[in-house]
Amino acid sequence: MDLSNVDPGGLVLGVLTLLFTVLAGLAVRKMARGEMHAGPQRDALESGDLEPDADDDESVAGEDATALDGPRDDEEPDDEEPDDEEPGPAAPADAPPPKPLREGLSKTRTGFMARLNDLIFKRSLDEDLVDELEALLVTSDVGIRTTERLLQDLRTALTSKEITDPTVVRDRLRAQVAQIVHRDVQPIDWSRGPTVVMVIGVNGVGKTTTIGKLAARLTAEGKRVVLGAGDTFRAAAVEQLEIWGQRAGARVVKGPPEADPASVVFDAIQQAQRDKADVVLCDTAGRLHTAVNLMEELKKVRRVMNKAMEGAPHEVMMVLDATTGQNAINQAEQFKSAVDVTSIALTKLDGTAKGGVVVAICDSLGLPVRYVGIGEAVEDLRDFSPSEFVEALFAE
């Protein structure tokens, strides 16, 4: 063969083109394999035979994860302004100072305290007053059993006409309420690297919002937070969590549409371990086709969390909506029998005149109330302080 006719430049170009084609082909095949990796992992979780450390660094979590400060380049954050239905946190820069708890309780205060004052200052202090107080407390969602406990001492004192000053009635009631809501609660230990919190509760109680507020607060404290989008029942729930995650600067780990929630939280915990995160907050569904399905799913999610990290979840926080009154107690009992609930977050105290439910919850569930929600903004999630609550409730 006579090589003198071959153009050397053309030869080099030809070889380079060939090399590029081969490399591109390899890359495409590798990407396709990465996508398909999610299937077997989910199947393994479903059958329950996934070993704790079975996942490797090619976990699907990384590909589905989104983060404000992390590897996120597929979406424009500006497109994700919250709408009226699913509001995000208020902008911290021009946010007004946090409203006092007393203001958040204003509906309860006018509903309960005004009626209490009406009763004790306008009626004679005798045993009939006990019946009136009983009716007031029960209609404020304190619950019958708790009401009886609260009024035990007052009943004796009023029947024997021992009390002559109305303010004494109020002070004694206040002392009784304080005694019931007071608990020595250990704060959450955030130093477990990561501390895993499973958030549960029926649809619409405020799980996602509470997670978002908590995430914002924890990242503001300098903690690294990962959110697990375990409510895969509705696509909107994942989007809502992503909005909060973006605002808070927390990575959101989600699965493909209709993913197995246990798989998503597994990935979230593993991602958090890789990220050396301090906290994983896992959202869950609150509604499935039947309550039995929901409870079974939550049990499975809990089991799989423990496979991802021994000891997880460290906290199972049940979110209750204060506006649902005594129903909230029934919900909590139902969830408690399925998963080991460790604490309560009580939302929407601002939206009810029946804040007495706090007293019933503290009295009857045997669980600490960790947080209360008194509005939709970030700063409206408060640590529940029993003394502050009693003070705000009984303030003149």
Ligand X SMILES: Nc1nc2c(ncn2[C@@H]2O[C@H](COP(=O)(O)OP(=O)(O)O)[C@@H](O)[C@H]2O)c(=O)[nH]1
Contacts of 372 (CB under 8 A, 6+ apart): 101, 104, 322, 345, 346, 347, 349, 358, 381, 382, 384, 389
Least Å distance between CB 235 and Mg ion?
A: 12
The site map against ligand X for 199-218 (x = CB under 6 A) is --x-xxxxxxx---------
| Binding residue (CB under 6 A) for ligand X from 194, 245, 373, 386 | 373
**Would you say 289 and 106 are in contact if contact means Cβ atoms under 8 Å apart?**
no
Residue 104: contacted member of Mg ion, ligand X, none (CB under 5 to 8 Å, by partner type): none
The amino acid that residue 129 corresponds to is L
Show the DSSP H helices in 105-165 as ranges: 106-108, 114-122, 127-139, 144-159
Distances, alpha carbon 10 to alpha carbons 5, 7, 14, 15, 16, in Å: 11, 5, 6, 9, 10
Give the total residue count for the chain.
396
- What is the amino acid identity at position 279? V
Please tell me the count of residues contacting ligand X according to CB under 6 A.
Answer: 19
Q: Which stretch binds ligand X (CB under 6 A): 171-179, 262-270, 336-344, 370-378?
A: 370-378
Is residue 237 part of the contact set for Mg ion (CB under 5 A)?
A: yes
Structure tokens at 228: 């697990």
Q: Minimum distance from CB of 247 to Mg ion (Å)?
A: 16
Q: How far is residue 348's CA from residue 355's CA, in Å, rounded to a whole number?
A: 9
Q: Can you tell me which of 89, 245, 261, 351 binds ligand X, judged by CB under 6 A?
A: 351
314 makes contact with ligand X (CB under 6 A):
no
Residue 208 in contact with Mg ion, rule: CB under 5 A: yes
Residue 343 near which of ligand X, Mg ion, none (CB within 5-8 Å, type-dependent): none
CA angle 236, 238, 239 (to 5 degrees): 65
Nearer to ligand X, 70 or 204 (CB): 204
Q: Contact region for ligand X (CB under 6 A) — 63-71, 259-267, 335-343, 369-377?
A: 369-377
> Residue 154 or 349: which CB sits closer to ligand X?
349
Tell me how far the alpha carbon of residue 344 is from its chain's centroid: 10
Binding residues (CB under 6 A) for ligand X: these are 87, 201, 203-209, 286, 347-348, 350-351, 373-376, 380
For binding to Mg ion (CB under 5 A), which residues are involved? 207-208, 237
